[in-house]
Amino acid sequence: MRVLGIETSCDETAAAVVDGDRPTGARILGEAILSQHEEHRPYQGIVPEIAARSHLQHVDRLVAEAMDKAGVGFADLDGIAATGGPGLIGGVIVGVMSAKAMALVHGLPFLAVNHLAGHALTARLTDDVNFPYLLLLVSGGHTQLLIVEGVDDFTRLGTTVDDAVGEAFDKSAKMLGLGYPGGPAVEAAAARGTPGGFDLPRPMLGRPDCHFSFSGLKTAVRRQAEAIGEDQVDDLCASLEQVIGEVVADRCQKAIDEFRDRHPTGNTLVVAGGVAANRTLRRYLHETAADMDMRLIAPPPKLCTDNGAMIAWAGLELLRLGLTDELDFKPRPRWPLDPDAPPAHGAGVKA
């Protein structure tokens, strides 16, 4: 089975062809990606209108490039997948409309992929992970712990009551004048600095549930940013990374306990989403997993940040189960993985 996947929900336009034939395992046959970082950099954040226009301008070329690299034509494909949400709606519409048009013209099934499921299922493409597993999803808009029991079967254990962890990186970077995108900039600065010299809060540490909170940390970074000189920015970034590593590891410990209550022999923790590219965070997660007899699966960094292969793969998983979509599918700006999850309440904060 071969599926073309298109990703346009945020600030990368990406396409890839993935082959899922057994017993050779899954393979990425060809991929192409265009990041819009330069276009958004002057604004130090993503401007939705610029993003949508850029996706529209480039998506056809990237699809052609991915298929060229894969050495396949439409006749060699079994389906066409696109991110159907959640995300910036203008961009999602561009990807969905392109995929629908190609599916219609070439008589192929269309698959609308939940972007978060794309991140969540990537470890099955890269490491052939079986269900069930515990998932830490850390991206620009989401911070969640979920039990994954099937392609479309997610139970949310925890979420953020305010900001996502990626926002903590991005907003801190902005306050510290490190530019956009923030996560990689903070990581680079932190690598030059020494952690420990700053008094930063560790929100939610030790709480009995699996939720997260990052807005207090952001406020603390702002206060420190106003007080320090340029020569201390690297050290502050190193401290920020350390604190994030500690709280995320603590929340994962709680989630591992809950996961084990439900699946006593479960032993896999998967980390996914753009922030999973962060090496300090990966180190903390490795330690936590090892301490708790779990194995950590962390896909290569370029498959943690947004890409086309994750959408092609998730589409392929849906196609195998016959879960195709109609051409009247409506793009979804919001699309929770676990629609039944109760709302999370923080320390006086409602989410």
Contact residues for Zn ion, defined by CB under 5 A: 139, 306
Phi, psi of 17 (to 5 degrees): -115, 125
Q: Does 10 bind ligand KG4 (CB under 6 A)?
A: yes
Taking the complex as a whole, the smallest distance from the CB of residue 72 to ligand KG4 amounts, in Å, to: 26
Quickly count: other Cβ atoms within 10 Å of residue 120's Cβ: 24
Q: Does 278 bind ligand KG4 (CB under 6 A)?
A: yes
Taking the complex as a whole, the smallest distance from the CB of residue 284 to ligand KG4 amounts, in Å, to: 13
- Select 50 or 101, whichever has its Cβ closest to ligand KG4: 50
Site for ligand KG4 in 147-176 (CB under 6 A): 166, 169-170
Through-space distance between the first and last CA atoms of the chain, rounded to whole angstroms: 41
- Select 11 or 187, whichever has its Cβ closest to Zn ion: 11
Contacted entry of ligand KG4, Zn ion, none for residue 170, CB cut-off 5 to 8 Å set by kind: ligand KG4
Taking the complex as a whole, the smallest distance from the CB of residue 309 to Zn ion amounts, in Å, to: 13
Quick check: 272 and 136 in contact, CB under 8 A?
yes
Taking the complex as a whole, the smallest distance from the CB of residue 62 to ligand KG4 amounts, in Å, to: 16
- Select 139 or 159, whichever has its Cβ closest to Zn ion: 139
Binding mask 80-109 for ligand KG4 (x = CB under 6 A): ------------------------------
Taking the complex as a whole, the smallest distance from the CB of residue 301 to ligand KG4 amounts, in Å, to: 7
Number of residues that bind ligand KG4 (CB under 6 A): 19
Taking the complex as a whole, the smallest distance from the CB of residue 15 to Zn ion amounts, in Å, to: 15
Q: Does 308 bind ligand KG4 (CB under 6 A)?
A: no
Among 132, 184, 308, 331, binds ligand KG4 (CB under 6 A): 184
Site for ligand KG4 in 12-71 (CB under 6 A): none
CA gyration radius, the chain: 20
Cβ-in-10-Å burial (0-12, 13-18, 19+) of 321 comes to exposed
Contacted entry of Zn ion, ligand KG4, none for residue 307, CB cut-off 5 to 8 Å set by kind: none
Q: Which residues bind ligand KG4 (CB under 6 A)?
A: 10, 139-141, 166, 169-170, 181-184, 187, 273-275, 277-278, 305-306
